[in-house]
Amino acid sequence: MELQQGIFILMGLAMIIAAGLAMHVKDLISSIIAVGVVSLFASLLYLLMQAPDVAMTEAAIGAGLSTLIFLYALHKTKDVEEEND
């Protein structure tokens, strides 16, 4: 039980770090990949918390398809964020 809670906390921290990276990285492709990493850890957490149905959806849609859709959307715009403040 202790070990499992430790794993949960570690994964939650990894999700927070990846989400922070997604906001702070200047390169938008890295940012999209970081968002995908958040989804991947979320799906692993769902699996560990005995929700395999939700984990499958999160892995396929959150980590897979939406990352690619973001990449396609990025491809149609510019790939560097512009500073305007």
Partner 1 sequence: MIKRIIPAILVISIFFMLLKVMTNITPKYDLTGVSKTYAEQGASDLGAMNLVTAIVVTYRGLDTLGEVAVLFMAGTGIALLLRRKKKKKGSVAKKREASEILQTGSKLLVPIIMMFGAYIFINGHLSPGGGFQGGAAIASAVMLMFLADNSFKINHKVFGLIESLSGMFYVIIGILGLVMIGADHFLDSRLLPLGEFGKILSAGTIPIIYTLVGLKVGTELASIIDNMKGDLE
The residues binding partner 1 (CB under 8 A) are 52-53, 55-57, 60-61, 64-65, 68-69, 72-73, 76, 85
Q: How far is the CB of 57 from partner 1 (least distance, A)?
A: 5
Q: Is the CB of 31 or the CB of 67 nearer to partner 1? A: 67
Which residues, listed in sequence order, are joined to residue 27 by a DSSP beta bridge? 80
Q: Is the CB of 21 or the CB of 64 nearer to partner 1? A: 64
Q: Is the CB of 9 or the CB of 65 nearer to partner 1? A: 65
Q: How far is the CB of 60 from partner 1 (least distance, A)?
A: 4
CB 14 within 8 A of CB 41: yes
How far apart CA 36 and CA 57 sit, in angstroms, is 13
Instruction: Name the region of 82 (left: φ>0; alpha: ψ -120 to 50; beta: rest).
Output: beta
